[in-house]
Structure 1
Amino acid sequence: MLAYVIRRIFVSIPILIGSTILVFIMVKFSGDPLEPLKMRNPPAPRQTILNEEHRLGLDQPIHVQYLNWLKNLVLHGDFGPSVHSNTNIGHELGGRLVVSLRLVLISVLIALIFAVITGVVSAVKQYSATDYTFTFTGFLFLAMPTFWFAILLKSAAISYNQAIGTQTFFTIGDKSPFLTDDSAWGHVKDIAGHMILPTIVLGLVSYAAWSRFQRASMLEVLNSDYVRLARAKGLRPRRVLVRHALRTALIPLTTVTALDIAALLGSTIITERVFQWHGLGEFFLDSVGDHDANAMLGWLLISALIVILFNLVADLLYGVLDPRIRYE
């Protein structure tokens, strides 16, 4: 198992490097990060523009810029200079990663729990009223665009707060700037309160698709020969369902979940924008607007590492769910 994990990590390194090269080239040709300075009125001094080009490394060939960025990152953990001289990209990414990662992980966990439960129930009670209800609910949330659902939920929360005259739901920010209860428990409650609405948005959008995969996978497994044999041997229905059918049916859901993490990170950008969270989503959008190549590359690197990590976890879970899968 350890050898398999190490091998997968080494295989992921060329993927990371290849993706950074492609994005680096795309970013470099997408716009000039010094355009606001050059278009300033009155015009900025020529020497000021040259100094900024030298600070950002724009006076070097593109391949030299990339190699310098990669060398500084590997050897010193330096993501490079930002277009804003007072911005430390590594520090910004570290702080914002915590904000976005807690939203992604909790949303994935909640979505998986509900997807497994509703998918199994729908498969066991196929073509019943319960199955039709879960199917309709899944397709309803699946058809909702993330930005529209987030705005709709935020507007409903604001209307509810105004109707009862108190702030029950937090609709802005990932935490309150001022707290009456400055204890550790007070901070935990505040963060949890701000996470309710964004978690609902990401969780339900992900749940909608995953529940359908779980239902289809469970139906296929329930109709397989080894499940019929287990029933014919007189095993209890619950044991057949949980011990024999569910474990195998979870493998396709595990694969889909790992593959959907990239799309979930994209949805996180939209959700954070709607609820004005200071996470990786806001950082990425600001970086795109400023043509900040190093900041965008840092965001890409973090996102790629998250996707690779989830895919590695999914591969390892295959061996847990199906004992026939071995990595030795």
Structure 2
Amino acid sequence: MVSYIARRIGVSVLILIAASFIMYVLAAHSGDPLQDLEGSSSPNKQALIQARVQSQHLDLPSPVRWLLWLGGVARCIVPIGGGCDLGTTFQNQQVTQLLPEATAATLQLVTVAFVLAVILGVALGMITALRAYSGFDYSITLVSFFLFSLPSFLIAVLLKSFIALGYNNFLADPTLSPLALAVWGVVVGLIVQLIVGGTFRKRALTFVIAGVVTAAILWYMSITKWFTQPSLGPVVVIVFCAAIGFAFVALLAGVHNRKAWLTAGINVAIAIVCYFALQGLLNVSSIGTLIILAIASVVVGLVVGFFVGGYDRGLMMRIGAFTAFFTSGVIVLDRFMRSWPAYMDITNDRPLATVGGATPGLNGDVWITGLDTFTHFLLPTISLLAISFASYTRYSRSGMLEVLGQDYVRTARAKGLPERTVIVRHAFRNMLIPITTLVATDVGALLGGAVITETVFGISGMGRMFVAGLYSTDVNPIMGYFLVVAITAIAFNFLADLTYSALDPRVRVR
């Protein structure tokens, strides 16, 4: 393993060096770096041109300038001779100062979109494979191909025009007409009956019940002004926590496992007690407090699973940890929602942002700043999510269908194993092998899509830094963007190789 890692690191370094040379030469010859100054009417134009030529070494050939840049990168790894130096921009700003802020904004955007795309895409792909050639399968296939065909900039513009502006205008008078209630009821009813499936009578009954319940809930939210003063409340929190416990028991252990029910029940009870006991602490919390509480919840779940587990302690610990973490998330969600009216006042009742990554001059606690980050990154995240969602759905569907036809799956069913065990412990693990390859390659695609998304939404991330450098032929910020993307892509490909051996014992890392 050690020799394999050493070889991979060595090969990755060589690939980075070769790719950086190609990228540097192409960027340096993509335009005239003095064009803006040569067209200037400033009386000291020649002095400005000479200063830029000297600071950017424009009098040297691009391969020599690349060698100088590579020497600065080498000092980032081995801090000798003046320390890390990635060059300066045309505005005499150090790239090493710009890159961390830009990288943080981009990673904040890309990470959420990446995680949601994997979870939602794989989950829906599995469900469509288990219900292949049904109405639900055809519907998800239609949506996937539709999203896959849309360019990211068009999705971003549509989200700004219809979702952001439409929702902000709706909040000026958040009441739903009878026609709107009926339309939402019909839409949700159609979706739910596709998911449930079954005979025509069952689907029709599901459609009616889901439509009526949806219309009733929306009517209640409208008359109680829930859209401007939202909260979950104790009853909904208890119901959500119980539903989370039930979901993890059914998914991981099956509904007939008493120890699983006991583990999940204890964690749900602890979460409900904490909901009432920790309200005072949550009112004065910081981001550090929330991180500590999240870690504590996972530890409590693991401890409960350890003592309840018995012969299947590992499974019980997983159920306990997942249940504790997600039930604590419900409590935090409720506290965020109760801060929504205060945030509405700050944003003049137009909370859903369309430009930037934060509200300028905003002062508030962790709940207000968290809502501000959420409203600014919601639409860009959805835009990036749509890029990858369709791919994961289609790959996971085809992978699951292929795995379900394998001999070992038929053997597991012939032995009388429960269908949940066959799907979760046998088929799902092997289905993840091709998805691992897609995940490794999709990271680079998401970072590339962030260039367009950040430009449309005005987020000051790596994408905007790259575009600004490309327009002005400013090579150093372009190469800073290249370094982050290239290192990330190589790292994820390396992790994918290691993941293969974890998912399939026949694969050995040598």
TM category (shorter chain) comes to: over 0.9
Counterpart in the other structure of 2:50? 50
Per-residue CA deviation, residues 188-208 of structure 1 (Å, 9 max, x unaligned), is 232122121111111122111
1:168-187 → structure 2 map (5 Å cutoff): 168-181=351-364, 183-187=365-369
The separation in 2 between residues aligned to 1:212 and 1:29, in whole angstroms, is 40
**Alignment deviations for residues 102-133 of structure 1 (CA, whole Å, 9 cap, x no partner):** 11111110011111111111111111112112
Deviations 1:61-109 (A, max 9, x none): 3332111111122113211122112x12111111110000111111110
Alignment partner of 1:11 is 2:31: no
* Whole-angstrom CA distance in 1 between matches of 2:467 and 2:30: 14
State the match for 1:83 in structure 2. Answer: 90
Q: Distance in 1 between matches of 2:49 and 2:143?
A: 56
CA contact (8 A) 1:38 1:44 kept: no
Q: Which residue of 2 aligns with 1:270?
A: 452
Cα-to-partner distance string for 1:17-46 (whole Å, 9 max, x where unaligned): 111111111122222212211222256454
Percent identical among aligned pairs is 39
After superposition, the Cα gap between the structure-2 partners of 1:233 and 1:139, relative to the gap in structure 1 and judged at 3 Å, is same
- Write out aligned runs for 1:102-251 (5 A): 102-156=108-162, 157-165=164-172, 166-181=349-364, 183-251=365-433
Aligned to 1:293: 475
Task: Answer with 227-236 or 160-169: which moved more.
Answer: 160-169
Contact 2:37 2:45 in 1 (8 A): no
Cα distance in structure 2, aligned partners of 1:277 and 1:25: 28
Alignment-mate amino acid for residue 67 of structure 1? L
How large is the Cα RMSD of the aligned pairs? Answer: 1.6
Aligned equivalents of 2:435, 2:360: Cα separation in 1: 39
TM-score, scaled relative to structure 1: 0.94
Task: Show structure 2 runs of 5+ residues with no match.
Answer: 76-82, 173-348
Partner SS, residue 151 of structure 1: helix
Letter in 2 for 1:200: I
- Write the distance in 2 (CA, Å) between the matches of 1:174 and 1:135: 33
SS at match of 1:24: helix
- Point out the structure with max Rg over C-alpha: 2
CA distance in 1 between partners of 2:140 and 2:52 (Å): 57
Evaluate the alpha carbon distance shift between residue 78 and residue 133 of structure 1 in structure 2; reply closer, same or farther with a 3 A threshold. same
The alpha-carbon deviation at position 180 of structure 1 amounts to: 4.5
Q: TM-score when scaled to structure 2? A: 0.62
Query: For the Cα contact (< 8 Å) 1:37–1:44, is it kept in 2?
Result: no
Give 1:96's aligned amino acid: A
- 1:170 CA drift (Å): 1.9
- Supply the AA of the counterpart residue of 1:118: L
Quick one: distance in 2 between partners of 1:5 and 1:192?
Answer: 38
Aligned to 1:37: 37
Q: Which residue of 1 aligns with 2:221?
A: none
Native 8 Å contact 2:106 2:461 kept in 1: yes
Partner Cα distance (1:52, 1:222) in 2: 63
Taking a change above 3 Å as real, the CA distance of residues 173 and 51 of structure 1, as seen in their structure-2 partners, is: closer
Q: How many residues align?
A: 326
Instruction: Tell me, yes or no, if the aligned pair for 1:100 and 1:268 is still in contact at 8 Å.
Output: yes
Query: CA–CA distance in 2 between the matches of 1:120 and 1:168?
Result: 36
Deviation at 1:269, TM superposition (A): 0.9
8 Å Cα contact 1:27-1:293 kept in structure 2:
yes
Letter in 2 for 1:162: N
Return the alpha-carbon distance in structure 1 between the equivalents of residues 145 and 62 of structure 2.
47
Alpha-carbon separation, structure 2, partners of 1:42 and 1:319: 63
Unaligned ranges ≥5, structure 1: none
- Paired AA for residue 33 in structure 2: P
